[in-house]
Amino acid sequence: MDPRIGPDTVAAIAANVARTIALDAEELALFASVLRLREHPRKAVLLSRGEVCRTMHYVVEGCIKVFNVDDEGVEHVVKFAPEDWWAFDIESFALGVPCSYGIEAIEATRTLGIGKDDMEMLYRRVPKFERFSRILFQNAYIALQRRVEQSLSLEAGERYAAFRRKYPGLEARIPQKLVASYLGVTPEFLSTLRRRLLTEEKP
Amino acid sequence: MDPRIGPDTVAAIAANVARTIALDAEELALFASVLRLREHPRKAVLLSRGEVCRTMHYVVEGCIKVFNVDDEGVEHVVKFAPEDWWAFDIESFALGVPCSYGIEAIEATRTLGIGKDDMEMLYRRVPKFERFSRILFQNAYIALQRRVEQSLSLEAGERYAAFRRKYPGLEARIPQKLVASYLGVTPEFLSTLRRRLLTEEKP
DNA sequence: CGTCTATTTGAATGTACTCAAAAGCGGTGG
DNA sequence: CCACCGCTTTTGAGTACATTCAAATAGACG
């Protein structure tokens, strides 16, 4: 794990933050100073269930899954985090309680991590970051609301279409059983769904 | 709508707030001064879709539903708010954007309302209220996460059992088609579910 | 009492699951 | 380089869960 971070990498996360708050050069330097670059091979565990989540992960390259495991041992993917997405357990990070989710790399992935202590330092020194976090959190809430509505009102084929709109191109990069898990259907059924779509498109 | 509020009513909401933050007599008086008591007959509209949500509603007596309507015109109940629950559209309230939910009284209902401006005054004068709101918001997020997990991993009978645990006694007070809407099943199917439970309990 | 809505019931249908087996695909070692 | 292993994906048959539609019954309210 080399903590040195190239300018391209900083530019990516800076652009992400800039969508919410404007930082001057000094603030940006302070922000960059707390970032920790990490390389995760495929299947690497970033957070395992029951741990306390102490790091906000920003994905520079690759893809991460956030998931939980139900009573029958079935894995449910809660969200994917490809390039330019954030991944962490908000509840656990904010409250310091054991997390109910696991986080793992699906591909070889490079992330920038911000520790909880560093984040609190940023809040004190650059209060704008409070706003950044609050909005990140609000967006997570809104995204979750959409998912609840969809899982209640759409059927599997429509949820699949929504997934493809939300994560363009991701489908080709990750195992389909993970897509099935995200949609809340079995891998077998997703397979037949896809077959149906193909035969309908060009009969 | 009589804005005068009896001591019992204040005691109820004060106890609710006290579960999160401790207020002294003066702070409590300031808090009580911004509360507005409102009486809503059955089916009264507290918020209609597209409006901006400017009030946090605390339910003193009765019951409220928060719902959205999908593309086919089907209503989906997102949550119920009986006595001692809060109901408002967090996204719309926080950001001032048009809400995507409707809020209506299911029974004749008395609520205490706090306006957005008053809430911001409280944040300035008694910063502890920031904490109160943040935790209210976090709890909403966590509750929503549970619902997503349940809608993916539980089947209708189990979701029904979970509903009865979450809202004890509520089932007897409200139309069953609303329960069905909350569970994400048709009223007909909920009816057969209930019949099955009865015949299984005492054969 | 009559009207309107909610609930129950049943039949036919559709959606998605389980189980089982075959086919595809990627890596690894001989 | 190829053969084999393990994992993912596909395919199909049979089944369970939940829906739609239609009609009968029960409740609530004016």
Task: Please tell me the predicted confidence (pLDDT) of residue B146.
Answer: 87
Percent of chain A with pLDDT over 90: 75
B28 and B70 assigned to the same domain: yes
Name which of A94-103, A137-146, B153-162 the model is least confident about: A137-146
A191 Cβ nearer than 7 Å to chain D strand? yes
Helix (H) or strand (E) holding B113: strand B109-115
Tens-place pLDDT, residues A89-110: 988 998 899 999 999 999 999 9
B92 and B171 assigned to the same domain: no
B95 and B136 assigned to the same domain: yes
pTM reported for the whole predicted model: 0.88
Tens-place pLDDT, residues B49-94: 999 999 999 999 999 999 999 888 899 999 999 999 999 999 899 8
CATH classification at residue B25: 2.60.120.10
Which of B100, B138, B152 has its CB closest to that of A91?
B138
Q: Facing residues of A63 across strands?
A: A82
B67 and B48 assigned to the same domain: yes
Range of the domain at B176: 154-203
B98 and B27 assigned to the same domain: yes
Percent of chain B with pLDDT over 70: 96
A136 and A170 assigned to the same domain: no
Name which of A97-101, B77-81, B131-135, B159-163 the model is least confident about: B131-135
Q: In this complex, do B70 and A149 lie within 8 Å of one another by their Cβ atoms?
A: yes
Task: Please tell me the predicted confidence (pLDDT) of residue A148.
Answer: 85
**Minimum distance, in Å, between the CA of residue B91 and any CA atom of chain A:** 7
The residues, ordered by sequence, that sit 6+ positions from B165 with a Cβ below 8 Å of its Cβ are: none
Task: Please tell me the predicted confidence (pLDDT) of residue B199.
Answer: 77
Strand pairing of B36-40 and A75-82?
unpaired
Q: Evaluate whether residue A1 is within a structural domain.
A: no
- Chain B residues touching A149 at Cβ < 8 A: 68, 70, 76, 78
Average pLDDT, chain A: 91
A13 and A76 assigned to the same domain: yes
Q: Evaluate whether residue B1 is within a structural domain.
A: no
Q: Evaluate whether residue A31 is within a structural domain.
A: yes
Q: Evaluate whether residue B80 is within a structural domain.
A: yes
A185 and A110 assigned to the same domain: no
B11 and B102 assigned to the same domain: yes
Which residue of B20, B89, B141 to mutate against A (max A Cβ within 10 Å)? B141
Task: Please tell me the predicted confidence (pLDDT) of residue A3.
Answer: 54
Given A134, A153, A172, the domain boundary residue is A153
A49 and A122 assigned to the same domain: yes
Assess A147–B contact: CB distance below 8 Å, yes or no: yes
State the Cα–Cα distance between residues A133 and B93, nearest whole angstrom: 18
B57 and B148 assigned to the same domain: yes
State the Cα–Cα distance between residues A46 and A104, nearest whole angstrom: 5
Q: In this complex, do B76 and A142 lie within 8 Å of one another by their Cβ atoms?
A: no
Alpha helical stretches, state H, B36-155: 90-95, 116-125, 128-153
Q: Evaluate whether residue B2 is within a structural domain.
A: no
Average pLDDT over residues B6-33: 94
Average pLDDT, chain B: 92
Whether pLDDT at B131 is above 90: no
User: Domains in chain A: how many in total?
Assistant: 2
B113 and B172 assigned to the same domain: no
Q: Which nucleotide is nearest to A184 (CA to C1')?
A: C16
Q: Evaluate whether residue A2 is within a structural domain.
A: no
What is the DSSP secondary structure assignment for residue B106, as one 8-state letter?
Answer: S
Q: Evaluate whether residue B31 is within a structural domain.
A: yes
The residue among A1 and B71 whose pLDDT is bigger is: B71
State the Cα–Cα distance between residues A197 and A140, nearest whole angstrom: 31
Protein CA A77 to sugar C1' D14 (Å)? 29
